[in-house]
Chains A and B, each alone.
Chain A
Protein backbone atom coordinates (compact mmCIF):
# COMPACT_ATOMS: atom_id res chain seq x y z
CA UNK A 1 0.00 0.00 0.00
CA UNK A 2 1.52 3.24 -1.12
CA UNK A 3 1.14 6.46 0.77
CA UNK A 4 -1.25 7.70 -1.81
CA UNK A 5 -3.44 4.65 -1.43
CA UNK A 6 -3.44 5.08 2.28
CA UNK A 7 -4.43 8.68 1.97
CA UNK A 8 -7.17 7.80 -0.39
CA UNK A 9 -8.41 5.03 1.83
CA UNK A 10 -8.65 7.31 4.81
CA UNK A 11 -9.48 10.72 3.37
CA UNK A 12 -11.83 9.41 0.70
CA UNK A 13 -14.47 7.93 3.02
CA UNK A 14 -14.21 10.86 5.40
CA UNK A 15 -14.77 13.17 2.51
CA UNK A 16 -17.87 11.32 1.34
CA UNK A 17 -19.36 10.94 4.80
CA UNK A 18 -18.83 14.58 5.57
CA UNK A 19 -20.28 15.56 2.24
CA UNK A 20 -23.32 13.40 2.83
CA UNK A 21 -23.73 14.92 6.23
CA UNK A 22 -23.48 18.38 4.72
CA UNK A 23 -26.25 17.58 2.32
CA UNK A 24 -28.51 15.69 4.68
CA UNK A 25 -28.48 18.08 7.64
CA UNK A 26 -31.33 20.49 7.91
CA UNK A 27 -29.26 22.81 9.99
CA UNK A 28 -27.09 24.99 7.74
CA UNK A 29 -24.49 25.48 10.41
CA UNK A 30 -23.86 21.78 10.81
CA UNK A 31 -23.87 21.45 7.05
CA UNK A 32 -21.29 24.18 6.75
CA UNK A 33 -19.10 22.54 9.33
CA UNK A 34 -19.43 19.21 7.59
CA UNK A 35 -18.48 20.85 4.32
CA UNK A 36 -15.41 22.22 6.01
CA UNK A 37 -14.46 18.68 6.93
CA UNK A 38 -14.92 17.69 3.32
CA UNK A 39 -12.71 20.55 2.26
CA UNK A 40 -10.00 19.47 4.64
CA UNK A 41 -10.13 15.88 3.53
CA UNK A 42 -9.98 17.04 -0.10
CA UNK A 43 -6.90 19.03 0.76
CA UNK A 44 -5.40 15.82 2.06
CA UNK A 45 -6.28 14.08 -1.16
CA UNK A 46 -4.66 16.91 -3.11
CA UNK A 47 -1.54 16.29 -1.13
CA UNK A 48 -1.67 12.70 -2.11
CA UNK A 49 -2.10 13.70 -5.72
CA UNK A 50 1.03 15.73 -5.63
CA UNK A 51 -0.50 19.18 -5.43
CA UNK A 52 0.65 20.50 -2.09
CA UNK A 53 0.27 24.15 -2.98
CA UNK A 54 -3.31 23.65 -4.03
CA UNK A 55 -3.91 21.79 -0.79
CA UNK A 56 -2.66 24.82 1.01
CA UNK A 57 -4.85 27.14 -0.96
CA UNK A 58 -7.79 24.84 -0.35
CA UNK A 59 -7.33 25.16 3.38
CA UNK A 60 -6.36 28.82 3.48
CA UNK A 61 -8.73 30.26 0.95
CA UNK A 62 -11.57 27.80 0.76
CA UNK A 63 -11.87 26.56 4.26
CA UNK A 64 -10.31 29.59 5.74
CA UNK A 65 -11.93 32.46 3.93
CA UNK A 66 -14.96 31.27 2.03
CA UNK A 67 -16.30 28.95 4.68
CA UNK A 68 -15.72 31.44 7.41
CA UNK A 69 -17.66 33.99 5.45
CA UNK A 70 -20.44 31.50 4.95
CA UNK A 71 -20.61 30.52 8.56
CA UNK A 72 -20.46 34.16 9.54
CA UNK A 73 -23.54 34.86 7.45
CA UNK A 74 -25.31 31.82 8.87
CA UNK A 75 -24.68 33.14 12.34
CA UNK A 76 -25.60 36.64 11.26
CA UNK A 77 -28.97 35.56 9.97
CA UNK A 78 -29.56 33.63 13.15
CA UNK A 79 -30.07 30.00 13.86
CA UNK A 80 -33.79 30.45 13.41
CA UNK A 81 -33.35 29.59 9.76
CA UNK A 82 -33.15 25.90 10.44
CA UNK A 83 -35.37 24.17 7.97
CA UNK A 84 -38.76 23.06 9.11
CA UNK A 85 -38.64 19.48 10.28
CA UNK A 86 -41.68 18.33 8.32
CA UNK A 87 -41.25 16.87 4.93
CA UNK A 88 -42.13 19.49 2.35
CA UNK A 89 -42.88 18.97 -1.29
CA UNK A 90 -42.27 15.22 -1.02
CA UNK A 91 -41.95 14.80 -4.77
CA UNK A 92 -38.88 16.98 -4.75
CA UNK A 93 -37.47 15.32 -1.65
CA UNK A 94 -37.70 12.10 -3.58
CA UNK A 95 -36.43 13.61 -6.81
CA UNK A 96 -33.22 14.79 -5.18
CA UNK A 97 -31.89 11.36 -4.28
CA UNK A 98 -33.17 9.92 -7.51
CA UNK A 99 -31.33 12.49 -9.53
CA UNK A 100 -28.23 11.93 -7.47
CA UNK A 101 -28.37 8.18 -7.99
CA UNK A 102 -28.98 8.56 -11.70
CA UNK A 103 -26.25 11.12 -12.03
CA UNK A 104 -23.77 9.01 -10.20
CA UNK A 105 -24.85 5.92 -12.04
CA UNK A 106 -24.38 7.45 -15.44
CA UNK A 107 -21.12 9.09 -14.50
CA UNK A 108 -19.77 5.94 -12.88
CA UNK A 109 -20.69 3.93 -15.95
CA UNK A 110 -18.87 6.42 -18.13
CA UNK A 111 -15.83 6.45 -15.91
CA UNK A 112 -15.65 2.69 -15.51
CA UNK A 113 -15.87 2.12 -19.25
CA UNK A 114 -12.49 3.74 -19.41
CA UNK A 115 -11.12 4.82 -22.73
CA UNK A 116 -9.03 7.57 -21.16
CA UNK A 117 -5.67 8.32 -22.76
CA UNK A 118 -2.82 6.48 -21.08
CA UNK A 119 -1.39 8.01 -17.94
CA UNK A 120 1.90 9.74 -18.26
CA UNK A 121 4.57 7.83 -16.40
CA UNK A 122 6.37 10.70 -14.77
CA UNK A 123 5.05 13.16 -12.26
CA UNK A 124 4.78 16.86 -12.81
CA UNK A 125 6.81 19.37 -10.94
CA UNK A 126 4.25 20.53 -8.43
CA UNK A 127 6.42 23.25 -7.01
CA UNK A 128 5.19 26.78 -6.46
CA UNK A 129 7.68 27.96 -9.05
CA UNK A 130 6.28 25.82 -11.75
CA UNK A 131 2.77 26.84 -10.80
CA UNK A 132 3.72 30.49 -10.90
CA UNK A 133 5.26 30.04 -14.33
CA UNK A 134 2.02 28.69 -15.64
CA UNK A 135 -0.17 31.15 -13.81
CA UNK A 136 1.74 34.18 -15.00
CA UNK A 137 2.70 32.68 -18.29
CA UNK A 138 0.10 30.76 -20.17
CA UNK A 139 -2.71 31.70 -17.87
CA UNK A 140 -1.94 35.41 -17.50
CA UNK A 141 -5.08 36.37 -19.28
CA UNK A 142 -7.25 34.04 -17.24
CA UNK A 143 -5.60 35.36 -14.14
CA UNK A 144 -6.38 38.94 -15.05
CA UNK A 145 -9.87 37.97 -16.07
CA UNK A 146 -10.35 36.29 -12.73
CA UNK A 147 -9.30 39.46 -11.01
CA UNK A 148 -11.88 41.42 -12.94
CA UNK A 149 -14.37 38.74 -11.98
CA UNK A 150 -13.60 39.21 -8.33
CA UNK A 151 -14.00 42.94 -8.65
CA UNK A 152 -17.29 42.49 -10.45
CA UNK A 153 -18.45 40.06 -7.79
CA UNK A 154 -17.53 42.53 -5.12
CA UNK A 155 -19.50 45.29 -6.70
CA UNK A 156 -22.38 42.91 -7.34
CA UNK A 157 -22.46 41.76 -3.75
CA UNK A 158 -22.36 45.30 -2.44
CA UNK A 159 -25.06 46.52 -4.77
CA UNK A 160 -27.44 43.72 -4.04
CA UNK A 161 -27.02 43.63 -0.31
CA UNK A 162 -26.83 47.34 0.27
CA UNK A 163 -29.59 48.73 2.36
CA UNK A 164 -31.51 51.51 0.60
CA UNK A 165 -31.94 54.60 2.69
CA UNK A 166 -35.11 55.61 0.87
CA UNK A 167 -37.34 52.99 -0.61
CA UNK A 168 -38.38 54.33 -3.96
CA UNK A 169 -41.98 53.90 -4.96
CA UNK A 170 -41.95 51.23 -7.62
CA UNK A 171 -44.24 52.13 -10.47
CA UNK A 172 -45.04 48.60 -11.54
CA UNK A 173 -47.81 46.20 -10.84
CA UNK A 174 -47.89 44.44 -7.50
Chain B
Protein backbone atom coordinates (compact mmCIF):
# COMPACT_ATOMS: atom_id res chain seq x y z
CA UNK B 1 0.00 0.00 0.00
CA UNK B 2 1.58 3.27 -1.05
CA UNK B 3 1.86 6.11 1.42
CA UNK B 4 -1.08 8.06 0.03
CA UNK B 5 -3.35 5.06 0.53
CA UNK B 6 -2.25 4.51 4.11
CA UNK B 7 -3.07 8.14 4.81
CA UNK B 8 -6.56 7.74 3.35
CA UNK B 9 -7.31 4.60 5.33
CA UNK B 10 -6.07 6.26 8.52
CA UNK B 11 -8.30 9.26 7.92
CA UNK B 12 -11.34 7.07 7.36
CA UNK B 13 -10.64 5.16 10.57
CA UNK B 14 -10.87 8.40 12.54
CA UNK B 15 -14.37 9.34 11.41
CA UNK B 16 -17.10 8.99 14.01
CA UNK B 17 -20.04 10.26 12.00
CA UNK B 18 -21.22 10.38 8.43
CA UNK B 19 -20.76 14.14 8.55
CA UNK B 20 -17.02 13.83 9.11
CA UNK B 21 -16.59 11.17 6.48
CA UNK B 22 -18.48 13.04 3.81
CA UNK B 23 -16.90 16.35 4.67
CA UNK B 24 -13.58 14.68 3.97
CA UNK B 25 -14.84 13.18 0.71
CA UNK B 26 -16.39 16.43 -0.45
CA UNK B 27 -13.20 18.28 0.44
CA UNK B 28 -11.24 15.84 -1.69
CA UNK B 29 -13.53 16.81 -4.54
CA UNK B 30 -12.97 20.51 -3.92
CA UNK B 31 -9.21 20.01 -4.08
CA UNK B 32 -9.44 18.06 -7.33
CA UNK B 33 -7.70 19.75 -10.25
CA UNK B 34 -10.46 21.07 -12.46
CA UNK B 35 -10.95 19.01 -15.57
CA UNK B 36 -9.84 20.77 -18.72
CA UNK B 37 -13.06 21.95 -20.44
CA UNK B 38 -11.92 20.27 -23.63
CA UNK B 39 -11.92 16.93 -21.81
CA UNK B 40 -15.44 17.28 -20.47
CA UNK B 41 -16.74 15.54 -23.55
CA UNK B 42 -19.28 12.82 -24.19
CA UNK B 43 -16.44 10.51 -25.10
CA UNK B 44 -15.05 10.81 -21.59
CA UNK B 45 -18.46 10.60 -19.97
CA UNK B 46 -19.40 7.53 -17.96
CA UNK B 47 -23.15 7.29 -17.92
CA UNK B 48 -24.57 6.01 -14.68
CA UNK B 49 -28.16 6.26 -13.63
CA UNK B 50 -27.78 9.03 -11.15
CA UNK B 51 -24.74 11.24 -11.45
CA UNK B 52 -22.39 11.99 -14.30
CA UNK B 53 -18.72 11.09 -14.18
CA UNK B 54 -16.10 12.21 -16.66
CA UNK B 55 -12.78 10.43 -16.73
CA UNK B 56 -9.77 10.93 -18.94
CA UNK B 57 -6.85 8.47 -18.87
CA UNK B 58 -3.33 9.20 -20.01
CA UNK B 59 0.04 7.41 -19.97
CA UNK B 60 3.27 9.34 -19.46
CA UNK B 61 6.71 7.76 -18.91
CA UNK B 62 5.09 4.39 -18.22
CA UNK B 63 2.87 5.82 -15.51
CA UNK B 64 -0.87 6.27 -15.74
CA UNK B 65 -2.55 9.56 -14.97
CA UNK B 66 -6.24 10.22 -14.53
CA UNK B 67 -8.31 13.37 -14.64
CA UNK B 68 -11.98 13.54 -13.82
CA UNK B 69 -15.04 15.37 -12.63
CA UNK B 70 -18.65 14.82 -11.64
CA UNK B 71 -21.81 16.87 -11.37
CA UNK B 72 -22.55 15.59 -7.87
CA UNK B 73 -20.50 16.68 -4.86
CA UNK B 74 -20.06 13.29 -3.29
CA UNK B 75 -19.38 11.55 -6.55
CA UNK B 76 -16.79 14.20 -7.37
CA UNK B 77 -15.16 13.51 -4.02
CA UNK B 78 -15.08 9.81 -4.80
CA UNK B 79 -13.68 10.52 -8.25
CA UNK B 80 -10.94 12.56 -6.56
CA UNK B 81 -10.30 9.71 -4.17
CA UNK B 82 -10.01 7.17 -6.93
CA UNK B 83 -7.71 9.44 -8.89
CA UNK B 84 -5.58 9.91 -5.78
CA UNK B 85 -5.37 6.14 -5.47
CA UNK B 86 -4.51 5.31 -9.05
CA UNK B 87 -2.86 8.34 -10.64
CA UNK B 88 0.89 7.90 -10.94
CA UNK B 89 0.87 4.10 -10.72
CA UNK B 90 2.17 1.94 -13.51
CA UNK B 91 -0.12 -0.46 -15.35
CA UNK B 92 0.88 -3.55 -13.41
CA UNK B 93 0.26 -1.84 -10.12
CA UNK B 94 -3.23 -0.85 -11.24
CA UNK B 95 -4.14 -4.29 -12.53
CA UNK B 96 -2.95 -5.91 -9.32
CA UNK B 97 -4.48 -3.32 -7.04
CA UNK B 98 -6.11 -4.93 -4.02
CA UNK B 99 -9.72 -3.86 -4.08
CA UNK B 100 -10.08 -4.71 -0.41
CA UNK B 101 -8.88 -1.16 0.05
CA UNK B 102 -12.32 0.18 -0.77
CA UNK B 103 -13.82 -2.25 1.65
CA UNK B 104 -11.50 -0.97 4.35
CA UNK B 105 -12.70 2.56 3.98
CA UNK B 106 -16.34 1.47 3.86
CA UNK B 107 -16.98 2.39 0.25
CA UNK B 108 -17.41 -1.06 -1.15
CA UNK B 109 -21.10 -0.53 -1.75
CA UNK B 110 -20.46 2.67 -3.68
CA UNK B 111 -18.18 0.81 -6.04
CA UNK B 112 -20.11 -2.37 -6.51
CA UNK B 113 -21.64 -3.85 -9.61
CA UNK B 114 -24.45 -1.32 -9.74
CA UNK B 115 -24.77 1.14 -12.50
CA UNK B 116 -26.24 3.66 -10.14
CA UNK B 117 -23.35 6.04 -9.75
CA UNK B 118 -20.93 5.25 -12.48
CA UNK B 119 -18.11 4.69 -10.01
CA UNK B 120 -17.87 1.03 -10.74
CA UNK B 121 -17.73 1.81 -14.44
CA UNK B 122 -15.02 4.36 -13.70
CA UNK B 123 -13.00 1.73 -11.89
CA UNK B 124 -13.50 -0.65 -14.79
CA UNK B 125 -12.38 1.99 -17.25
CA UNK B 126 -9.20 2.56 -15.25
CA UNK B 127 -8.45 -1.14 -15.08
CA UNK B 128 -9.20 -1.65 -18.76
CA UNK B 129 -6.90 1.24 -19.60
CA UNK B 130 -4.17 -0.42 -17.55
CA UNK B 131 -4.73 -3.76 -19.27
CA UNK B 132 -4.20 -2.32 -22.74
A and B bind: no
Binding site for A on B (CB under 8 A): none
